[in-house]
């Protein structure tokens, strides 16, 4: 029988990031995301949680055990040596919300390569593993790439 217990506690809210300006003329490809490239965080006392938000810029992994897969683009050009910090390897923007699956395995994600997006709602991985709004430099690089048609608004 259903029941209700009052005072269940407060939890840090998180939800799906919205980054698209429009869904018109949206083009998406698929790729395998390497779980090892997403940093683990502690949420409400639960350690080792992995959450990948839509709007995260993705780059192809060119070396190591996950070569051929994708992971979050990182601005860390010293600590990230698998190719994800090279702007030439950027393949697009993640469209799939992955709230827990990366704890257990690699997952298939949708990679947006043609769209109108809000730059401030897109994310890139910082040197400390956190995610921050997409920088102007990365956005300019993505706009200049021949294999992408991302229009930032």
CATH number at residue 81: 2.40.300.10
Task: Name which of 106, 148, 105, 142 is nearest 124 in CA terms.
Answer: 142
Distances (CA, A) of 116 to 22, 28, 40, 57, 137: 6, 12, 30, 14, 18
Query: Where in the sequence is the domain holding 95, given as residue range(s)?
Result: 20-152
User: Which pTM does this prediction carry?
Assistant: 0.91
Question: What pLDDT digit, counting tens, does each position of 107-116 carry?
Answer: 999 999 999 9
Contact between 16 and 51 (Cβ < 8 Å): no
Does 10 reside within a domain? Answer: no
Instruction: Please report which confidence band the pLDDT of residue 6 belongs to, taking 50, 70 and 90 as the band edges.
Output: low
Does 101 reside within a domain? Answer: yes
- Distance separating alpha carbons of residues 22 and 20, to the nearest angstrom: 5
Number of domains present in the structure of the chain: 1
Contact between 83 and 62 (Cβ < 8 Å): yes
Does 15 reside within a domain? Answer: no
Does 1 reside within a domain? Answer: no
Does 11 reside within a domain? Answer: no
Does 6 reside within a domain? Answer: no
| pLDDT at 5 (0 to 100) | 57
Does 14 reside within a domain? Answer: no
Q: What is the DSSP string of the chain?
A: -----S---------PPP-EEEEEEEEEEEEEEPGGGSPPEEETTEEEE--B-TTBEEEE--SSTTTTSEEE-BS-TTT--SSTT-GGGEEEEE---BSSGGGTS-EEEEEEEEEEE-GGG-EEE-TTS-EEEPPHHHHHHHHH-TT-EEEE-
Does 3 reside within a domain? Answer: no
Question: What pLDDT digit, counting tens, does each position of 75-102 carry?
Answer: 998 999 999 999 999 999 999 999 889 9
The structure tokens listed for 3 are 């029941």
| pLDDT at 66 (0 to 100) | 97
């Amino acid at each position: 029988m259903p029941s209700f217990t009052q005072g269940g506690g407060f939890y840090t809210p998180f939800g799906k990031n919205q980054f698209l300006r429009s869904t018109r003329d949206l083009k998406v490809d698929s790729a395998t995301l390497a779980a090892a490239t997403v940093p683990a965080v502690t949420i409400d006392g639960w350690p080792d949680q992995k959450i990948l938000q839509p709007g995260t810029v993705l780059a192809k992994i060119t070396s190591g055990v996950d070569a051929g897969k994708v992971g979050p683009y990182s601005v860390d050009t010293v600590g990230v040596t698998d190719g994800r910090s090279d702007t030439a390897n950027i393949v697009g923007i993640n469209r799939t919300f992955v709230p827990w699956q990366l704890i257990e395995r690699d997952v298939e994600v949708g990679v947006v390569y043609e769209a109108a997006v809000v730059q401030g709602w897109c994310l890139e991985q910082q040197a400390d593993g956190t995610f921050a709004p997409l920088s102007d430099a990365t956005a300019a690089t993505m706009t200049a790439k021949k294999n992408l048609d991302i229009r930032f608004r």
